[in-house]
Structure 1
C-alpha cells in the first residue's frame, strides 16, 4: 500500500501518478485497458503502473476483468475498470419531490427512488429527515448488491455555500441562509456528503454521463427554471456562485411577480407550475398533472398548446440574450423542457430566430436523454470525480492507506 510518510517529493510524484492512472482508466470507459496499455498511454514504466494499479485494486477503486492478449507474444493481460463495488449516493431536494440514487464509480445508476413531497415552506430539518429515510433505503439497496458507499452528493434548487453547507437562497423552498447537516444523511461514509446547486449538478451529469459537448448551457426545468454553464468541460459558476440563473432573466418587464422578488422572470412563464396553470391543469399530484398536460398536448388542446408555445417563446427570449452575452453555441434542455420538447421546440426556435437570427444552430439545441436522473448523476459524479482526481487523499480518508 501507499506510504503516507514517504518524503515529500516522492510522495507528491506518487500522488500525481495515482491520479494519472485512475483518470486514464476512467476515460477509457468500456475499453478496459491493460497495465501495458496504461503504461503506453501515460508514459509511465510498466513496473510503476503495476505498482500503482495494485494499490488501486487493493483499495477497491479498480477491478480486474477478463484476460486478453495485447499482441501475439507475451502473457495475457487483464483489463481494468472503475469498480462496480464502490459507489456514491446522489440525493436531490426539489420543491415537490425528493430523490436518491446509487451511482457506481463507472457512472451506472444502480438504484433510483423518488417520492412526491411538498417541500415549499417546510423547515429544512423536516425535509432532511424525510430525505434521510430515502437515503437509508438507497444505502440498504447498495448493500444488497455488495456496493460500499464512499460518500454522497446533495443537490438543492438554490444558491449554496458548499464549504459551510449552507443554502444561501432557495426562493421556491422559502429557504434563506439555512445551514444543513448533509453528512448526517450518510453517517460513516468516508467522504461525507457534498452540497451543490441542482441545475449545476444536472449540467455536470449531462457533461459526464449524457454525452454533452465541451461547451454548452444546460437548462433545468422544474417548478423553477435553472441553468448550468459548461465551458471547456468545466462548470462555470462565477465569482459568487450564481452564474447560470436563467430562470430569473427578465423576459417581460410587465410580467407577474417572481419568487426571487423581481417581476417578469422566465420562471413565471416557463416554470412547471406556470405551464400547468396556463394550460388549465388542475392541482394534484405532480405525475398526474404531467400526464394530463401531455394528454392535452397530444389531442392538440388549444389552451395547453398555447401555454407550451408561450413557454417556448419566452425561453427563446432568455436564450437569445444568454447566447449574445456569453457566445453560447449549444443548449441542452432538461427536466420538463426535455419532456415537452416535441411541442416546445417550434415556438422556441421561432423565438430564437426572431431575437437572435443565426446565432444558435438548431442542431445544437438538444434534449437531455437523462430525463430526471441527471441531477442525481451529477451530484454523485462530483464526489466520484474528486476521488479520481485525488485517489491518494481518498485512501487516507478511508483509512485504506
Structure 2
C-alpha cells in the first residue's frame, strides 16, 4: 500500500523503502509492457511527483532502465517506458549428482549465458565440488563483464534439504552429504547480496512459476538422478514446518521395492530416477549425455527394454502423483528435468496410472511438461535473489548514491 511520505514524520525512511519496492514490483509485474511514470502513478496510487523521484533513484542505482518513447494518449508529452535493468544480473548455480551448471540471469529474467558440464559429484568432498563450480562461475562472471552486466549476487541449488540461513546442506543422500557447510559466498567473491543456498526442486518450481508460465497452484516434479518436488500454493513456495515439503521421490510406491539412498525401500526414486531408468533399459555405460542420447534413440526405435523402462517409470510416477493429489488437493502438475525430456513416452503410462489409482481427480490437461527443462533450476535459483532485490531495493539504491 502506498504511503504519503509527508504524512509520516519520523518514518520517512521506512515509507521510502516501501514505496521503492512498490514501484519496482509494479515495473516487474508488467513484464514486456514497459510502463511509463504516469502509468505507474495510476497503478500504485502514488503521486506523479513521488513516482518520478522514486524512478530517478531506481534508474540511478542501475536497477531500472528507460526504454523508448510513446504517448499514453493523444495529448501530452511522450513518456519513457521503464523495465528492470538488463545491466544488472544474478548468477544461478546448480550442483547435481552428475553435473554442474551455471547461468547468468539479468533482472528482467533473461538467461544471458549458461553452461553445464558433466561431473561425477557423488561421494566427493563438498570443497572439491565447490572448486569445480567456482571455475564455471568465473566463466559467467567473464561473460557479465564483457556485456557490461554488474553481478548483484548468486543463487546455488543443491539436490537436498538445506538450511539457507546457515549455508548448510542438511541431507543430500544422492551426493552422500550430511550436515555439510558450503562456503557459497566464495563462489563469486565480493558481490553486494552474496550467494543464497536453496533446494534444487524448489528452485526449479519457482523458475517455472516466474519464468515458465506456471499456474498459481501446482506441484513441480523434478527428474534427475533423484526425484524431487516443489509445491506452489497461491504463487508462493510451500516448504512445510521443516522445509522438506514436496519430497515426492521418497513416497513409497512399492512396499517390497529396492533399497533407496534415503534409507527406506520402494521409493519412487528407485523406479523413476534417471539412473534407475538407465539401468532398467540396459544402458549402463558411457557419459550422462551419451546414455541420454542412447535412451532417446532406443525409445524412438521402440526398443522393448527401453520402452518398458520408461513405461514402468511413468506408472510408478502416476502412483505417487495419485497419492499426492489425494493428500494435497493439487490441481496441476508440471514435469521437469528428464521427465520433461521423456514426456512423449512417459505421459501415456503416467496418465493411465493416475486414472487407475485416482480416477477423475486430476484433469490430464493439467499435467504438463515444462518448457524450461533443465534451465528452470538456474532461473529459480537466480530468481530468488532477483525477487529479494524487488522486495527490498533500498540498500542497493542507497549504495549507488554519491558519498
The answer, yes or no, to whether TM exceeds 0.5 is yes
**Alignment gaps of 5+ in structure 1:** none
1:283, CA displacement in angstroms?
A: 1.8
Tell me the SS of whatever aligns to 1:345: helix
1:167 maps to: 169
| 1:1-400 equivalence runs, <5 A | 8-396=10-398
Tell me the SS of whatever aligns to 2:24: helix
- 1:298-333 per-residue CA deviation (whole Å, 9 max, x = no partner) reads 110000000000000000000000000000000000
1:397, CA displacement in angstroms?
A: 6.2
Tell me the SS of whatever aligns to 1:190: coil
CA distance in 1, matches of 2:185, 2:369: 33
CA distance in 2, matches of 1:134, 1:140: 10
Tell me the SS of whatever aligns to 2:383: helix
1:393, CA displacement in angstroms?
A: 3.1
Tell me if the contact between 2:57 and 2:397 (Cα under 8 Å) persists in the aligned partners.
no
1:394, CA displacement in angstroms?
A: 3.2
Tell me if the contact between 1:191 and 1:394 (Cα under 8 Å) persists in the aligned partners.
no
RMSD of aligned Cα (Å): 1.3
CA pair 353-57 structure 1, distance change in 2 beyond 3 A: same
CA distance in 1, matches of 2:64, 2:402: 14
CA distance in 1, matches of 2:114, 2:10: 43
Tell me if the contact between 2:61 and 2:396 (Cα under 8 Å) persists in the aligned partners.
no
Tell me the SS of whatever aligns to 2:108: coil
1:355, CA displacement in angstroms?
A: 0.4
**Alignment gaps of 5+ in structure 2:** none
CA pair 64-159 structure 1, distance change in 2 beyond 3 A: same
CA distance in 2, matches of 1:396, 1:164: 27
Tell me if the contact between 2:71 and 2:78 (Cα under 8 Å) persists in the aligned partners.
yes
CA pair 198-306 structure 1, distance change in 2 beyond 3 A: same
TM-score (norm 1): 0.97
Tell me the SS of whatever aligns to 2:67: strand
CA distance in 2, matches of 1:217, 1:35: 37
Tell me the SS of whatever aligns to 1:371: coil
CA pair 125-7 structure 1, distance change in 2 beyond 3 A: farther
Tell me the SS of whatever aligns to 2:327: helix
Tell me if the contact between 2:325 and 2:331 (Cα under 8 Å) persists in the aligned partners.
yes
Tell me if the contact between 1:190 and 1:398 (Cα under 8 Å) persists in the aligned partners.
no
After superposing on structure 2, the runs of 4+ consecutive aligned residues of structure 1 that deviate more than 6 Å are 397-401
Tell me if the contact between 1:97 and 1:119 (Cα under 8 Å) persists in the aligned partners.
yes
Tell me if the contact between 1:191 and 1:397 (Cα under 8 Å) persists in the aligned partners.
no
TM-score (norm 2): 0.97
1:282, CA displacement in angstroms?
A: 2.5
Tell me the SS of whatever aligns to 1:169: strand
CA distance in 2, matches of 1:233, 1:321: 22
Tell me the SS of whatever aligns to 2:11: helix
CA distance in 1, matches of 2:199, 2:90: 17
CA distance in 1, matches of 2:175, 2:389: 31
